[in-house]
Structure 1
Amino acid sequence: MSFTGFPVAALDFYDDLEMDNTRSYWEAHRATYEESVRAPMTALIDELAPEFATQGRPAKVFRPYRDVRFSKDKTPYKTHQGGFVPAGPSWGWYVELSPRGVRAGAGLYEASGERLAALRAAMADDRTGPALRRTLTTLEKAGFEVGGEQLKTSPRGYPADHPRIGLLRHKTIVVGRDHGFDPVIHTPEIGALVRRDWQALRPLVTWVQRALA
């Protein structure tokens, strides 16, 4: 199946799911999810993976079920559909469909222990840290948003006046932008827009790869 865009029915499905996040709604509209959401997302990921995937790391379309074991919110289904093309164990490229449209992004989505220590060491190093700052500044000027989980205080072992303390507070670092409800999301052109966004984000993924590989 070739990617032809996300149909209007996909956005309608998630609009309604936000209002009625129940098993009965899901079962009654499962065919819509499979045909209008999951199938085109799979086609898009399959189209992009050959250019972006690291050999031996399969791309994936995420399951629609929420993990509610430790959450106060017990609604059973995600109100978005994500797809991921990995460049490493926990970093790579991401695309999401939700009631708010399409979002494309990339970055480091999880880090702890030795991986987090390596990330911060690379951020603090004067040979590598400034390059990350320049990359993020360039992406922000191009219209991307920089986010990720952050500490409210300085990480242990780093002074509060470190020149890159803003970076060092990051536990994850993700960058993305929304394409909203633009009619283009219903056409193959949204695939080209996601590809261009991912290409623009490649310097970030490359930096993470070098820091953590």
Structure 2
Amino acid sequence: MARMARMDRPIFDEAQAFFAQLEAENTREAWARRRTLYDTGIRPVFAAVCAALTTFSDWRIYRPHNDVRFRADSPPYKTFIGAVSERPDGVGAFLRVGSLGLLVATGLPFPAADQLAAFRAAVADDASGPALIAVISALTVRGMMIRPGRAQPLKGVPRGYPADHPRADLLRWKGIEVNHRVRRPAWADVPSASAGIDDLLREPAALHEWLARYVGASALTAEDRFGPRRGTGAR
């Protein structure tokens, strides 16, 4: 049976403490001892907050297990709980709660192949490219952190674009997102947490508008986009 967090302390406190302990002992034995807390406290609270959000919907919550089949050195469990969402216009969002607090990222954090191609074409264009630079400058002035999505940028300009392109740095990016980090969220319940996160998700509206206009939604199927291991459910 799901157990909601105590209302006399911040709603994500228990999750932050849980993942701090998991970082210190990331083993199957430690997870087995504390699995009930994750199943009845950590995940239900996070899922309830995601479900109450209005800016984005249909959040897919990550599985707690890492895929260690191709990385033998990877720890068995994620040291955070996270979720992703994407609007019909292709604008995406990513939430994560770990020992260091809450991360809210929105923009194009996980572009599909066709979205990434459209993003690069728009960056290179003489009209939409400078428009994106103006958006980034305006958001930066307001104190927002702009990052190149969830993947590391390329070391060089992608094939088909000149190395001396005036926006070469942006062409190397594999996405774009605005990050908000909240070290110790003070929200004490689901309504206040979802309202606060919705406010953060709305802030980069200018970037959302640029992405919707020049990049848009992916035309790929879920299978083509995510592969058989990720599907349309939790990942």
TM-score grouping bracket, smaller chain normalisation: 0.7 to 0.9
Structure-2 change in CA distance of 1:91 and 1:21 (3 Å) = farther
Asked if 1:41 corresponds to 2:16, the answer is no
Equivalent residue, structure 1, for 2:233: none
Distance 2:161 2:77 in 1: 40
Equivalent residue, structure 2, for 1:23: 28
Distance 1:133 1:107 in 2: 15
Structure 2 residue identity aligned to 1:154: V
3-state secondary structure, aligned to 1:174? strand
- Alpha-carbon distance, 1:191 to partner: 3.0
Q: Which of 52, 56, 59 is the matching residue for 2:56? A: 52
Distance 2:72 2:109 in 1: 23
- Alpha-carbon distance, 1:88 to partner: 5.1
Which moved further from structure 2: 7-16 or 139-148?
A: 139-148
Equivalent residue, structure 1, for 2:161: 158
Misfit runs of 4+, over 6 Å: 1-4
Structure-2 change in CA distance of 1:112 and 1:102 (3 Å) = closer
Distance 1:73 1:89 in 2: 38
Structure-2 change in CA distance of 1:146 and 1:7 (3 Å) = closer
Listed one character per residue, the Cα deviations across residues 17-63 of structure 1 (whole Å, up to 9, x for unaligned) are 00111112112111211233211111111111x4334xxxx322211
Unaligned runs of 5+ in 2: 217-235
Equivalent residue, structure 1, for 2:74: 74
TM-score, normalised to structure 2, is 0.77
2:95 touches 2:105 (CA, 8 Å); kept in 1? Answer: yes
Equivalent residue, structure 2, for 1:6: 11
Distance 1:141 1:34 in 2: 41
Question: What is the percent sequence identity of the aligned residues?
Answer: 32
- Alpha-carbon distance, 1:203 to partner: 2.7
TM-score, normalised to structure 1, is 0.84
Equivalent residue, structure 1, for 2:223: none
* Residue pairs, 1:1-213, within 5 angstroms: 6-48=11-53, 50-53=54-57, 58-87=58-87, 91-111=91-111, 113-148=113-148, 149-182=152-185, 184-187=186-189, 189-213=192-216
Unaligned runs of 5+ in 1: none
CA RMSD after TM alignment: 2.5
Q: How many residues align?
A: 207
Equivalent residue, structure 1, for 2:229: none
